[in-house]
Chains A and B, each alone.
Chain A
Amino acid sequence: MLEVLAIAFTVLLIILSAAYAQRFGIGKEILLAGTRALVQILILASIILILFEMPLFWSFLVLAAMAAIAGHTTYSRSGKLENGLPVAVISIACASLLLLIPFFLMGIFPLEARYIVPTGSILIGNAMNVSSLAIDRYKGELKNKRSEVEAYLALGAKPELAAAACLKQGILSALIPSIDNMKNLGIVWIPGVMTGMLLGGADPMEAASIQIAIFTSIFVAGMIASSLVLYYSTDSFFTNAAQLKEDLD
């Protein structure tokens, strides 16, 4: 019963907002995005439902698929760099897995699909966002600071050294939103995990502790994933003769 009401409310909101947004010419877009979101989340719920019944192996397979899609998104954002796809997928998957394991090793969560899939997906989704922002900025920096990068190269610096300042800027600017979120945690907004647990009837202290553990893991996973992606992308911006490529678009 609860589900039917919530879904009916969602459908109503999508239709109304699409009707309103029609005057800005984005009505159809909102309708499409809203419908997609609804269908996708229902499919996800069904998958999780099925996963509850399946061996744990399947949960990790689902996470691997998520990491592959996340990696592809970051790869597209990078302008389809040479070798960019495996680099992005592996970086995001490794960083997320590294931060996921302790939750189960330390016994914060029991090793069950119910916990593995949502926690893993938050880590993966965020690692993707941070990596996309970082690679986009890194490329922009290399393009805008071409003369500086080439001044380094002209002195005999290797590409990694010539690009180091741009790489640093890429990571810094990608992490700024996460750092701001961390500062304002609990003041400006109650984050999703805690909201969900409170709605589900959990003790506020427990909800808060779990939330902060997840929150910091998200941050660390994002930092590791974006560092890996940028570090291993550097070569794609240079030729074999250590020249900054002409067409960085």
Chain B
Amino acid sequence: MLLVMNHFHLEMKDVSKSVFRTINGTKVKTSILSGLDLRIKTGELITIMGASGSGKTTLIRLINRLSELDSGIIMLNGNDIKNLVPMELRRKIGMVFQVPVVFKGSVRNNLAFGIKLWGGNTVIETLSRDAGIPENLLDADAGQLSIGEKQRVCIARALANQPEILLLDEPTSSLDALSAQKIEKLLLGLQKERDLTIIWVTHEKEQVERIGGRRLVLRGERLEDFHA
């Protein structure tokens, strides 16, 4: 029991990541993150700010292993994520992308994806209600939705997997202020209800203030505490 309590939900230690930029046809290695540390407790909400191009997207893609880190270690519940089956890891760590991508077919089809893949007793109607998707949209073609509606579909689709952690990459960046605040409310509600651990990337200071949680900023390839 003691051992378990020592564990953080998610821990990043001395993580580094470089990317290869193509400049005039030649590949140039550029360091984006280096010596980065992060510790998050279960049910905690943290926000990550940072200038455009500072590596926020790069950072969270390492956590669900869509990209590979160069060095360092990332642990989920005390286990190196490299020891987990990537598909299982991604079921536990849901991600909402900066630009919403819906799959072909109806909204219902989109929401059913994770349920078909992983099983579970999630009811699509409940899920869509939780995500603020009107019932009459369920059978609409997902490709025709507005960006805000698509983003809700993506959030609901991630939640259908019943993740422990949710990675949010500027989920409201393409929305107007009112829709953005609705999504904020929705996500904060879900966090409390489901005891979700949330990593929320944003570049808006006002949003960070509205959301609350622990504030970090990505600067100089590392995470620092953010002081207003």
Contacts and interface: CB of A to CB of B under 8 A. Distances in A.
A158 B157 CA distance: 17
B118 A156 contact: yes
Given A148-B103, A165-B104, A246-B20, A153 B66 contact: yes
Contact of B66 (A161, A243, A247): A243
A142 B86 CA distance: 20
A239 B86 CA distance: 11
B175 interface: no
B87 A243 contact: no
B30 to A, nearest CB: 13
Interface in A51-87: none
A156 B67 contact: no
Contacts of B68: 239, 241, 243
A99 B104 CA distance: 35
- Most interface-central of A153, A155, A243 (chain B CB within 10 A): A155
Interface residues of B, number: 27
Contacts of A247: 20
Range, interface on chain A: 10 to 19
Contacts of A155: 90-91, 94, 113-114, 117, 157-158, 161
Contact of A157 (B20, B87, B101): B87
Contacts of B95: 154
A19 interface: no
A156 B65 contact: no
A151 interface: yes
B99 interface: yes
A160 to B, nearest CB: 11
A156 B161 contact: yes
B176 interface: no
Interface of A: 147-148, 150-158, 161, 165, 239, 241-243, 246-247
Interface of B: 20, 64-68, 82, 86-88, 90-91, 94-95, 97, 99, 101, 103-104, 113-114, 117-118, 154, 157-158, 161
